[in-house]
Structure 1
Amino acid sequence: MSRKRMKLLVDSLTRSSKHFNKSEVECLVNLFDTLVAKASSHFAGAGFDRTVFRDTLHSAFGLTDEVMLDRVFSTFDRSNTGSITVVEWVEGLGVLLRGTLEEKMKYCFAIYDLNGDGYISREEMFQMLKNSLLIQPADEEPDEGVKDLVEIALKKMDYDHDGKLSFTDFEKAVREESLLLEAFGPCLPDIKSIIAFEQKVFRETPK
């Protein structure tokens, strides 16, 4: 990419992402280029695919849950092309690394709303909790334990008692108890991973 195009891209992304300054955006664009180089060639130049995305998030933030990683990919891939563009990459990382509570709530809700209908249903909660629970009590039907958790979550978060969570329910619950932000599975990096990632990626770029 020519220096002029790089400058235009960095300026535009700095304005749209709001969370990074120019030199940080430049570092993220450089990282993006490195990842594109690893990706399969049919996306060449345009972006990188699901596999590279999952490997990157796995190694950078320790996110391992397959279902969650797929959902994170889908929320980043706003254009729904199956590859992550540089704009989606920088704006998505803005929320992941430095998002406001508002942004993180919208992001987590979108991840948990598996079919995109604007609600987190019992079935969706069951699906996600079943995946994120590794250890089951030996004497209990594994699914029963998960069903109990779903009921507990609904009891705590379903303010309008319609048997599913709207964004309004979710937002209200999280504002009252911030730990509920990731109630249905880990989809945000922890603070240690964020600091390590930023130190590694945003260290002084060679002039």
Structure 2
Amino acid sequence: MGCVSSKQFKRGPGYEDPNILAKETTFSVKEVEALYELYKKISYSIFKDGLIHKEEFQFALFRNSNNKNLFADRIFDLFDLKCNGVIEFGEFVRSLSVFHPDTPMAEKITFAFRLYDLRGTGFIEREELKEMVLAILNESELLLSDEAVEQIVDQTFKQADLNDDGKIDPEEWKALASKNPALLKNMSLPYLKDITMAFPSFVLNCGASDEEL
């Protein structure tokens, strides 16, 4: 099973009771316990301190800990609820819960809004939307011309900016997402609906060995 081990681990920093986390999220207790195994694999993949650092997070998601990516940075920042530069277990579970298929759409819409609101102003401005579109295209290895990217941004603002003030507020974003479900297609990860020890492929080749954990 790749790097998944049956060895018993000590509870690392930031550990929280699965029963409590299950009550606060969409996950069951067993799923939270499975997520703890996943969390440990990621948190020991580079720094081996039981906390997920940005490099480990990016490596787990994108198989590369060096190349900077705005999309990966934004996801990390939103998972890092305490804003202390690392992701603890409780933060990991609570944030990942947003991506559970059964999580209410309103929570997904709010999370996606915060993802695009790069400056944290409470609005999505044109330049922020363009930066995120470019980052997502880059991560998907899709190459579009500058003109095509501008058209995407123009069309989005045409649909969303209902009061013509040059920015998208939370209510406008909610209306846009309701009319365009594709905007939130990446906000649901099907495997989270019944997560077991059979983790997604990115965990199976993680850098930490059983001896190191």
Shorter chain as denominator, the TM-score bin is 0.7 to 0.9
Alpha-carbon distance, 1:199 to partner:
6.9
| Distance in 2 separating the partners of 1:180 and 1:16 | 26
- Superimposed CA distance per residue, residues 52-102 of structure 1 (whole angstroms, 9 cap, x where no aligned partner): 11222236xxxx992211111111111111111000111111112333211
Superposition RMSD in Å: 2.9
CA contact (8 A) 1:121 1:165 kept: yes
- Superimposed CA distance per residue, residues 2-53 of structure 1 (whole angstroms, 9 cap, x where no aligned partner): 7xxx7x7112211222x11111111111221222222315xx24x1101111
CA contact (8 A) 1:65 1:132 kept: no
Counterpart residue type for residue 107 of structure 1:
F
Q: Work out which of the residue numbers 197, 200, 206 in structure 1 matches 2:198.
A: 200
| Distance in 1 separating the partners of 2:199 and 2:127 | 39
| Distance in 2 separating the partners of 1:194 and 1:11 | 17
Select the structure that is richer in helix.
1
Counterpart residue type for residue 79 of structure 2:
F
1:200 counterpart SS class: coil
Q: Work out which of the residue numbers 26, 30, 45 in structure 1 matches 2:33.
A: 26
| Distance in 2 separating the partners of 1:156 and 1:65 | 31
Evaluate the alpha carbon distance shift between residue 150 and residue 65 of structure 1 in structure 2; reply closer, same or farther with a 3 A threshold.
Answer: farther
| Distance in 2 separating the partners of 1:73 and 1:25 | 19
Evaluate the alpha carbon distance shift between residue 48 and residue 132 of structure 1 in structure 2; reply closer, same or farther with a 3 A threshold.
Answer: closer
CA contact (8 A) 1:65 1:131 kept: no
Alpha-carbon distance, 1:177 to partner:
2.4
| Distance in 2 separating the partners of 1:173 and 1:56 | 31
Counterpart residue type for residue 152 of structure 2:
L
Counterpart residue type for residue 84 of structure 2:
T
Instruction: Report what 2:105 is aligned to.
Output: 101
Paired residues in the alignment total: 181
Instruction: Report what 2:46 is aligned to.
Output: 39
